[in-house]
Amino acid sequence: MKRTVLAIFAVAVLAFGSAPVAAGSNNQAIGINVLLNTDITDAILAELGALGTVRDLLSEIDAVTLKARAGDLPAIQALPYVAAANLDAERNGSPVTTAAATDYADGLSTWDLDAVNVTDYGFDNRQVAFDGAGVYVAVLDTGLVDNWRSYFPAERIAVEYAKAFGGGGGDNGNVSEPTNKWEHDQNSHGTHVTSTILGYSLSGTPVNGVAPMAMVIPVKVLNQNGSGWSSVIARGIVYVADLKAGPLADFPVVINMSLGGPSLDAVEKAAIDYAISQGVIIVASAGNRGNAGMGYPGAYAPVISVAASGYIGEWYPPAGGAWWYLMNVSEPTNPAHFYITDFSSRAKPGQDLDVAAPGSWIVGPYQTNGQISYYFLGGTSMASPHVAGIVALMAQKNPGLVAADAEAYLEAAAIYLAPGCRTIYEPGGTTSVCWGADATGAGLITADAALNLVP
């Protein structure tokens, strides 16, 4: 592949945000997620059916989705075999603003990969001995765009396990499995997230990834505008857990979820617990709600959650528009060169924030008109796949790695970032960014430090 670096065509800021699902009228038909405290039986289904229409079963976690009237939710919650029931919670991973802008293990380094010490300046310069080979990373997101082969090596996408789920609360509780929709995404969010893990072709120039030899499983759980429902996400999580329990039993499996919403759904929580019990390690974005608090499922303690950090060299004038690959992040990592973005969610009481990773001005493939194009995106959605990729490296080193140990190693390896302020460059000038102790988790994570702790 040619080594000429082409111009980046756009700049974008990406954030997820959502509001609780409104019940509306008590007679309005809605999607309700029901978690049982016992096995699903015909008698239970019949009784639930008297209160609504059973739309989907998740027998692995004893969960049911219903189409029912909002006014019947208290009666459903009061049933003796119901552990929890709630309105299907909205989830989102779509952009809120945009502005102009075989394997890639020997590809070009970008500032964010340099910041986590996966690469150093230039080409063919990986700084760690692992590349993700033998590890599967399921990206629960919007899927991939039609021309994904223009960006990724075909052999790095596990098409035999790729899947799409749709419906959910917006479809009155029904969860569907549209055929091959995973590779017909019109949103591009999942494609950009995948590019951080695997790397990508920048119009012929290979760009490195955190885990360029991992196998990515695209699981579409968000619709074409980047939004979705926790019932659909739960189905996607259970699907990956069943893969780990079945055909992928001999391989490490990681889930990345660059998505979220303000409340924890009971069925989604049960799906996460089930997946972790099967040996899956789950990484999720902390959320882009700033001082409003973290999003879920990232804030749920067993999930490895990731805040968004930035680099003071971004848009540094001497490098102009080429700073994203020409700037060489200093080593050893100096926390004074980094900051926490203002959008990155701060942890509220009862929420668990683990580490911070690059999530400001991350370059990758992102299509707004169906044509090959590349954008800078900012959001904790971009930070999460950096850590999912690092976890893939850790699992390659130790295939028996489990979620609790992975989280402990990451937190122990993180570089403390004290509360403070930084003056940073932006395309239109400089600005000041400040953060407190609730914004950083254990601190800035680097791949080499995390790998050094893995036995």
Q: Each residue of 220-272: pLDDT tens digit? A: 999 988 899 999 999 999 999 999 999 999 999 999 999 999 999 999 999 99
Examine residue 24 and state whether it is found in any structural domain, yes or no.
no
Examine residue 417 and state whether it is found in any structural domain, yes or no.
yes
- Give yes or no: residues 339 and 414 share one domain: yes
Last residue of a domain, one of 60, 87, 114: 87
pLDDT of residue 18: 28
- Give yes or no: residues 70 and 192 share one domain: no
189 in active site: yes
pLDDT of residue 174: 80
- Do 327 and 307 contact (CB within 8 A), yes or no? no
Percent of the chain past pLDDT 90, that is, above it, reads 78
- Give yes or no: residues 76 and 218 share one domain: no
386 in active site: no
- Give yes or no: residues 14 and 37 share one domain: no
pLDDT band of residue 125 (cuts 50, 70, 90) is: very high
Q: Each residue of 298-324: pLDDT tens digit? A: 999 999 999 999 999 998 887 667 889
Examine residue 4 and state whether it is found in any structural domain, yes or no.
no
Closest CA to 113 of 128, 93, 102: 128
Tell me: pLDDT of 418 over 60.
yes
Phi, psi of 156 (to 5 degrees): -95, -5
**Domain region containing 33:** 29-87
pLDDT of residue 25: 57
> What pTM did the predictor assign?
0.91
- Give yes or no: residues 391 and 410 share one domain: yes
- Do 424 and 310 contact (CB within 8 A), yes or no? yes
User: What are the percentages of helix, strand and coil residues in the chain, rounded to 5?
Assistant: 30, 30, 45
Q: Choose the catalytic residue: 112, 131, 141, 448.
A: 141
Tokens of 77: 């919650």
Q: Each residue of 42-64: pLDDT tens digit? A: 999 999 999 999 998 999 999 99
Q: Choose the catalytic residue: 94, 131, 189, 195.
A: 189
- Give yes or no: residues 183 and 313 share one domain: yes
Alpha carbon distance 321, 60 (integer Å) = 50
* Cα-based distances in Å from 233 to 165, 277, 303: 8, 17, 14
- Do 182 and 105 contact (CB within 8 A), yes or no? no
Residue linked to tokens 């038909």: 29
* Cα-based distances in Å from 448 to 113, 126, 228, 243, 340: 12, 11, 35, 29, 21
* Helical packing angle, 403-413 and 380-397, nearest 10°: 110
pLDDT of residue 169: 79
pLDDT of residue 296: 97
- Give yes or no: residues 140 and 79 share one domain: no
**Beta strands of 112-252 (E only): which ranges?**
136-141, 163-164, 166-167, 175-176, 200-202, 205-207, 215-220, 227-229
Element (H, E) at 412: helix 403-413
Which ranges of 50-188 would DSSP assign to H, the alpha helix? 73-77, 111-115
Contacts of 352 (CB under 8 A, 6+ apart): 299, 300, 301, 303, 305
- Give yes or no: residues 124 and 83 share one domain: no
Examine residue 3 and state whether it is found in any structural domain, yes or no.
no
- Give yes or no: residues 75 and 122 share one domain: no
- Give yes or no: residues 168 and 234 share one domain: yes
Tokens of 271: 């799906």
Give the angle 58-59-64 at the CA atoms, nearest 5°: 45
- Give yes or no: residues 240 and 291 share one domain: yes
Q: Choose the catalytic residue: 109, 360, 381, 384.
A: 381
Alpha carbon distance 284, 297 (integer Å) = 7
Examine residue 1 and state whether it is found in any structural domain, yes or no.
no
Amino acid at position 7, single letter: A
pLDDT of residue 371: 86
Tell me: pLDDT of 70 over 90.
no
Average pLDDT over residues 270-298: 97
Tokens of 171: 């479809």
Last residue of a domain, one of 87, 110, 133: 87
* Cα-based distances in Å from 116 to 13, 29, 310, 385: 21, 47, 11, 12
pLDDT of residue 144: 97
Neighbours of 439 (CB within 10 A): 25
141 in active site: yes
pLDDT of residue 189: 96
pLDDT of residue 23: 37
Examine residue 80 and state whether it is found in any structural domain, yes or no.
yes
- CATH number of the domain where residue 356 is located: 3.40.50.200
Tell me: pLDDT of 99 over 90.
no
Average pLDDT of the chain is 90
Contacts of 6 (CB under 8 A, 6+ apart): 202, 203, 204, 205
Average pLDDT over residues 267-295: 97
Tell me: pLDDT of 16 over 60.
no
pLDDT band of residue 146 (cuts 50, 70, 90) is: very high
How many domains is the chain partitioned into structurally? Answer: 2
- Give yes or no: residues 83 and 110 share one domain: no
